[in-house]
Amino acid sequence: MDQNRVIDCFAALAQPSRMSVFRLLVRAGPEGMRVSDIAQKLDMVPSTLSGHLSILKRSGLLQSTRKQREIYYAADLATVNTLVRFLLEDCCDGRIENCAEALALLSPGTENA
């Protein structure tokens, strides 16, 4: 992932409502959620939500699919993984022991507090 794409992702997340949408969809997993459920869960007006979803999708952080009359959005987990990899690839100039706490968060079975 190049630096400009990373900046686009962070710019898309640099707003409280978009961050809330993104975190909700990361929790929802690959199946995602219907737009109406996202709006209800976050108590957001559908027209406002639509703008936020568009920005997140353009940045590559979300993907959408249509199932009959409903549109589902999901976090693009491949992009999320690539973004995290970009952030950590130069961590501590290769001294991985200094990054143990960050890497532990990414380990399977680790609970976030």
The mean predicted confidence, pLDDT, of the chain is: 89
Q: What are the sequence ranges of the domains in the chain?
A: 3-105
Considering the domain delimited by 3-105, tell me its CATH architecture: Orthogonal Bundle (1.10)
Q: Which residue has the higher pLDDT, 86 or 4?
A: 4
The per-residue pLDDT for 113 is: 43
Average pLDDT on 6-33 reads 97
The per-residue pLDDT for 17 is: 97
Structure tokens given for 85: 């990899």
The per-residue pLDDT for 108 is: 66
* Strand (E) or helix (H) holding 3: helix 3-13
Q: What is the pTM assigned to this prediction? A: 0.84
pLDDT per position as a tens digit, 47-62: 999 999 999 999 999 9
Average pLDDT on 3-13 reads 95
